[in-house]
Structure 1
Amino acid sequence: MNKKNFLGTVCVAVALSAVVSACGDGTTRSAGWEFSPNMYEPLAFNPDQPNPNFKDNKTAQLPPTGSDPIGFVRFEYPNTTEGYTQAGLEVKSPLAMTDVNLKQGEALFLTYCAVCHGKEGNGDGPLTKDRKVKDSRGERDLEKFPPPPSFHRSAGAKSTRGTVMADLSDGQIFHTITYGYNAMGSHASQLTPDERWKVVMYVHELQKK
C-alpha cells in the first residue's frame, strides 16, 4: 500500500470512528461531542441567577444612584404644581423655528396627540367621541375620554390649572407632555426631548387660531 492510500485509509477510519462514537451505545441520552456548546450554554450569568460576584448574590443590580441611561436627558423640574409653574417661567425651547421642525412637530402631534386633542387642536379627537366595537362578544361601547380644552385663542378655553390654553408657555407644555396630567399620560417614553419641543412648536401655531 502506497503512502497516499495509507493516509486515505487512516482518514476514513478516523472519520468512521467519530461517527460511530457520536451515535452513542443506545443506553445513554448523550449526543456525543458538542459543537460550540457556549452558543446555548452561556458563560455569563442570567439576570435571575444567583451571582457570587456581588454582596447580595444577585445578578440584576440597580444602577448607581444619580446615573442616567445612555441617551437619556434629565428634566430637572419635578412632577409637581410648583415644578410646572417654575418650568413655565424658566424653560424655553432650544430649537429654532424652522419649516422642517414645524412640519415634524405637526406629524408628531397628529400621531400622538390628535387622538384626544383633535387634528386642529379643538379637543375633539376620536377618543372623545362615542365609539362602538363589534366582535364575538357582540356590540359594545368603547371607553370615552373627556375632551381636553381647545388650544385656540378664539375659544378662550382654560386648562384645569387655570391658565388660558392659548397662553400656555414653552415650559408648561413641555412639562405636561413629559409628565402627563389628568387623563393624559406621560409621553416621555414615546417622544424624545427634541420631539417634544417640536410638538410644543406646533401647539404654539394652534394657539394662534
Structure 2
Amino acid sequence: MKTVNKLVFLLALSAFAVSCHNKENPNYQYMPNMYQSVGYETYSESNAFRNGKEGQLPPDGTIKRGYVPYEYPNTTEGYNAAKANLKSPLDSTAVDMDKAGQLFNIYCAICHGEKGDGKGNLSKREKFLGVPSYKDRVITEGSVFHVETFGLNAMGSYANQLDTHERWMVAAYVMKLKSEL
C-alpha cells in the first residue's frame, strides 16, 4: 500500500511539473536585456551621450586627479632648459634619503651601480656598455628628473614606475651620490 501511494504521488508530481510548460507561449522574462543585450559597435555614433557622437569630455583646462603637469618637452632643448632652470619642489625635510636609496637600488643601481659609478650588475656583465659615472657628468636635479621622466639614449623612461614625488627623491639621491664620488 505504501508503494502504491508513493507511486501515485510521484506520477501526480511529474504531471503537475510537465503541465506548466507551454512551448508556444514561453514564460515571461524579467529584464530581457540581461539575457539578450544590444550589441554596440566600437566608436560608432550612439544616442547614449548628449552630442550623439562621443563620450563626455572633461571641461577645458582640467587635469586628472594626481597628475602634475610637466612643461618641459622631450627634446634636447627641453633637457637643457630643465638642466638650467628646473629646481626640486621638495625641501630637504621632504626627502627621505632611506626611501630614495631604496628606490635607486631597485630601479637604477642595476645599471648605474649602488655608488653611481656606472658599474652596475648589467654593466659588469657587459649587457649595457657605456653607462656613465655621475662623477664624470655635469648634471643637476632638474636634468636627472627630466631623464627619469623621458629617458635618454639607452635609458628608458621611469615615469610609469615612479611618481613625481619619488622621481624628485631619486634625483636628490643621485646628487648625493655625485657629491660622494
Give yes or no for TM over 0.5. Answer: yes
TM-score (structure 2 length as normaliser) = 0.69
Match of 2:67 in 1: 72
Distance 1:99 1:64, change over 3 A: closer
Question: Does residue 1:48 correspond to 2:48, yes or no?
Answer: no
| CA displacement, residues 146-171 of structure 1 (integer Å, 9 cap, x when unaligned) | 241011x3xxx2xxxxxxx2x31111
Cα deviation, residue 110, structure 1: 0.7
Distance 1:127 1:62, change over 3 A: farther
Distance 1:203 1:27, change over 3 A: same
| CA displacement, residues 59-89 of structure 1 (integer Å, 9 cap, x when unaligned) | 5x77677643221111111111111111111
Identical positions, percent: 39
Distance 1:46 1:77, change over 3 A: farther
TM-score (structure 1 length as normaliser) = 0.61
After TM superposition, what 4+ stretches of structure 1 lie above 3 angstroms from structure 2? 24-28, 30-34, 45-50, 54-59, 61-67
Match of 2:142 in 1: 171
Provide structure 1 residue ranges, at least 5 long, that are not aligned to the other structure: 1-19, 132-143, 158-164
Cα deviation, residue 183, structure 1: 0.8
| Alignment map for 1:103-122 (pairs within 5 Å) | 103-122=98-117
Aligned to 2:96, the other structure's residue is in SS state helix
Q: Between Structure 1 and Structure 2, whose CA radius of gyration is higher?
A: 2
Aligned to 1:109, the other structure's residue is in SS state helix
Cα deviation, residue 112, structure 1: 1.0
Please say if residues 180 and 187 of structure 1, whose CA atoms lie closer than 8 Å, have aligned partners that are also in contact. Answer: yes
Aligned to 1:73, the other structure's residue is in SS state coil
| CA displacement, residues 169-206 of structure 1 (integer Å, 9 cap, x when unaligned) | 11111111111001111111111111111001110111
Aligned to 1:182, the other structure's residue is in SS state coil
- Picking from 188, 192, 206, the partner of 2:163 is 192
| CA displacement, residues 72-111 of structure 1 (integer Å, 9 cap, x when unaligned) | 1111111111111111111111212249621111111111
Q: Which amino acid aligns with 1:121?
A: G
Aligned to 1:203, the other structure's residue is in SS state helix
| Alignment map for 1:142-153 (pairs within 5 Å) | 144-151=127-134, 153=135
Please say if residues 86 and 141 of structure 2, whose CA atoms lie closer than 8 Å, have aligned partners that are also in contact. Answer: yes
Q: Which amino acid aligns with 2:128?
A: F
Q: Which amino acid aligns with 1:25?
A: H
Question: Does residue 1:25 correspond to 2:8, yes or no?
Answer: no
Q: Which amino acid aligns with 1:48?
A: T
